[in-house]
Copies of this chain bind each other. A is one copy, B any other.
Amino acid sequence: MPLVNDRLLRVLRGEPVDCTPLWVMRQAGRYLPEYRATRQRAGDFLTLCKTPELACEVTLQPLDRYALDAAILFSDILTVPDAMGLELSLEEGFGPRFAKPVRSRADIDALPIPDPGAELRYVTDAVSLIKRELKGRVPLIGFAGSPWTLATYMVEGQSSREFSRIKKLIYGDPAAAHALLDKVARATTLYLNAQLAAGADLVMLFDTWGGALSAAAYQEFSLAYMRAILEGLPAGVPAIVFTKGGGPWLESIAATGCAGVGLDWAVDIGDARRRLGDAVTLQGNLDPAIMLTTPEVVAAEARRVLDAMGAGGRHIFNLGHGITPEVPPEHVSVLVETVHDHSRQYHA
């Protein structure tokens, strides 16, 4: 089915658009009352992820409210390690936790590579269902966590501030770290291919914790494995790579061959465009905290990002990280209208 609104795919291919497309990281989330209602019906977050009908329902909720230019599969980056047998739980106020974290080389060697058609069937079923229910309105983004980011949770067993265990592993036993990352990258390649086969139009890699690494360690332990995943995707599928804190390394990220580079809000998007040129699409990068202020400030700061990007560029507007639960839903309306209206002049 041809897409009714294909701005996002056009801009990722470097084709002209009438205005800058946008979507919002975590757009199906707790700031929406209808999301909170579905979540309550589901009982908990993991049940919501693992029930295709409910995942589909929340994926579509922000599309029904706002003129967003993409849907993104509702899921979690930790589905892959969960399917590898680490037993994920998500406790309110604590965050993710694995009952069986990876603690030794033997643990790494014993990790299975999940069959996305079996252990992760609930995800591909959700993708198929969402794709059907979208009826071609906008493209559907599939996604996965980066191998490095998944490995931090798998080895630490939970969220971390210092990353002591995983860093001891990469510096103290790099061969074991590479064995782990290679396995996770292979699992993720299969997983994203399965999402694409089920109907996703493009994919995004979330490298939430790449910014915790040194420049050299980022290349070796994070970027190399994202590149390997991209090389395992069908030719022509657009991929967006986002490393939070990756501002110093944008050139290397663009060189992976991705169609889009995600920017957090620390980067000036005009500088990023000067550094990378127009051979790649930039995605970002409003500070999510701005969504907490007032409609006037949201509009002014969104215009500032568009103005910094300037005319004729390849830009997908987004926040620099996920939208937070306290954001008033009407601020998202203001954001969507401002981005579409104010950007027309730059695509004339």
Contact = CB atoms under 8 A, between A and B. Distances in A.
Interface stretch (A101-109, A187-195, A214-222): A214-222
A168 B289 contact: yes
Contacts of A290: 167, 171
SS class of chain A's interface: helix, strand, loop or mixed? Answer: helix
Contact of A266 (B172, B248, B301): B248
B248 A297 contact: no
A211 B265 CA distance: 10
Contacts of A287: 167, 213-214, 217
Contacts of A292: 164, 167-168
A267 interface: yes
Contacts of A213: 266, 287
A216 B172 contact: no
A268 interface: yes
Interface in A199-216: 211, 213-216
A18 interface: no
A335 B59 CA distance: 51
Contact of A216 (B215, B247, B268, B289): B268
A301 B171 contact: yes
Interface string A219-259: 00000000000000000000000000101100000000000
Contacts of A326: 164
Interface string A294-335: 100100010010000000000000001000101000000000
A167 B214 CA distance: 28
A266 B168 CA distance: 17
A171 B331 CA distance: 14
A271 interface: yes
A248 B164 CA distance: 25
Nearest to A321: B162
A200 B289 CA distance: 38
Nearest to A326: B164
A271 B171 contact: no
B162 A266 contact: no
B293 A267 contact: no
A288 B301 CA distance: 36
A285 B285 CA distance: 27
A163 interface: yes
Given A168-B289, A215-B266, A248-B267, 12 more contacts: A162-B324, A164-B289, A164-B292, A168-B293, A171-B289, A171-B301, A214-B265, A215-B268, A215-B271, A216-B268, A245-B245, A247-B247
Interface of A: 162-164, 167-168, 171-172, 211, 213-218, 245, 247-248, 265-268, 271, 285, 287-290, 292-294, 297, 301, 304, 320, 324, 326
For the complex of A and B, 10 pairs with smallest distance between CB atoms = A167-B289, A215-B268, A247-B248, A214-B265, A172-B293, A171-B293, A171-B297, A214-B287, A164-B292, A168-B293
